[in-house]
A and B are shown apart, each in its own frame.
Chain A
Amino acid sequence: MKKTIKTTALATALIGCAIQPALSHRAWLLPSTTVLSGENTWVTFDAAVSNNLFFANHRGVDPESVQVIGPDGKAASIQNASQGHFRSTFDLELSQEGTYQIFSGRDGLSAMWKEGDERKRWRGTAEELAKEGLAKKEGVRLSENVSRVVTFVTSGKPNKEALKPTGKGLEIVFTHNHPNDLFAGEEATFTLHLNGKPAAATEVTLVKGNDRFRNDAGEVKVTTNEKGEFSITWKEAGRYWINASVSADGGEIDGVPLSKRSSYTATLEVLPE
């Protein structure tokens, strides 16, 4: 009996360790506000990777990686960008009416190997990988990553031109609810896609901001249905961090197995009823 208890305790401890990495280092883009009225309004953004939401305590995101799609579906520019140690900031002038998508994305191959005791890490394209002959390195691990960190702001009437899916990697397709029209007490349904197709049976994690002030972060996990849909009932107003990550076998390059990874992260604001 005693033995059983010990084993159980050990198993619990191990699970605890395994969960840790998933809880840390979350990337986010945080708008100062998401719903605006009037003309020529501005929004300022924080961009960071941190353990807590939305507290900058790890490192800032390179503002160069940030792109904007305007309500007309065309690229728009950020202004006053500044990279900080813990967080970066930039501004966006909303000169058009409608919805803007602001995102930071990465898309490419990565290789990891060891030279002596030194760990090497490389990122680039398939061509560069072939040119540098990295697949021939001893013990190399290859992965293809498509990651996207997004948020949305709307001036006036929301539209969906900037929300068009890219067909690459994981992404939320706003089939039912608009990301800038979310209210406490209501249910919202979203559709998760992987490479342009519904991502069924995929886990989506939801964390409300200010977890720093809660002993239990209150992570909520939902799983998409066969159509890739998942629903969330917003219990409280606030800013939420939503993430989905998948990893799959992606064939091989020069005999080295390739793992295909994709992650999608969105910051959504839910307003009080």
Chain B
Amino acid sequence: MKKSTLLLLGGATAVHAQGYQLEVEIPRLKVSEYHRPYVAAWIENADRSHVANLTVCYDTEMKNDEGEKWLKDLRQWWRRSGRELDMPVDGVSGPTRPPGKHKFAITEALAKLPPLAGGKYTLVVEASREVGGRELVKIPFSWDGKKLSAEKATGKSELGEVSVTPIEAKSK
């Protein structure tokens, strides 16, 4: 199994990357009234135009889609993409997440991304919390169609560590 996967990817390299994933840390906050944050992650071009959505976590449990009323508080995401969409979006949107580290698949979005020779994309993560704050964390990255090279970033208030890591081929 491992062998055939590697063959499909066109050979063995130092890191047997099958793809990449986004890891977003939602910090545990000591506040009297805590609501899980709305979180959106997307990829932008250097001119800040929207390329692909990676995830949108919002309150999907409320009656009459009431949870959609606060999607606009993810202000940049709302502006760049959200207001053009019909929620929910299959494979992208989902319920809010508790504090902790959460992984999101990005391989599929990357596959659709035109490889930029030496060019830069930006992965943006935005979080907004009811009776709380709002924060944007940006990770510039380059993508040549095969290899992704990304910086790491850490939020100060509403987001913890945000990183893009290769999904390594499972050894078993």
Contact = CB atoms under 8 A, between A and B. Distances in A.
Interface stretch (A33-41, A200-208, A245-253): A33-41
Contact of B69 (A36, A158, A181, A183): A36
Given A37-B83, A157-B83, A271 B75 contact: yes
A273 interface: yes
A182 to B, nearest CB: 10
Interface string B11-37: 000000000000000000000000000
Interface in B47-104: 64-72, 75-76, 78-79, 82-84
A167 interface: no
Contacts of A38: 65-71
B82 A37 contact: yes
A222 B75 CA distance: 28
Interface size class of A (residues with CB under 8 A): 10 to 19
Interface of A is mostly: loop
Interface of B is mostly: helix
B69 A273 contact: no
A157 B78 CA distance: 9
A37 B66 CA distance: 10
A108 interface: no
Interface in A173-190: 181, 183
B79 A181 contact: yes
Nearest to B84: A157
Contact of B72 (A37, A272, A273): A37
A156 interface: yes
A268 to B, nearest CB: 15
Contacts of B76: 273
A28 B118 CA distance: 50
A101 B78 CA distance: 21
A211 B156 CA distance: 31
Interface string A5-49: 000000000000000000000000000000111110100000000
Given A181-B79, A183-B79, A35 B84 contact: no
A36 B134 CA distance: 17
Contact of B83 (A39, A158, A273): A158
B75 A272 contact: yes
Nearest to B71: A37
Interface of B: 64-72, 75-76, 78-79, 82-84, 134, 136
28 contacts: A35-B72, A35-B75, A35-B78, A36-B72, A37-B68, A37-B71, A37-B72, A37-B78, A37-B83, A38-B66, A38-B67, A38-B68, A38-B69, A38-B70, A38-B71, A39-B64, A39-B65, A39-B68, A41-B69, A156-B83, A157-B83, A157-B84, A158-B83, A181-B79, A183-B79, A272-B75, A272-B134, A273-B76
Interface of A: 35-39, 41, 156-158, 181, 183, 271-273
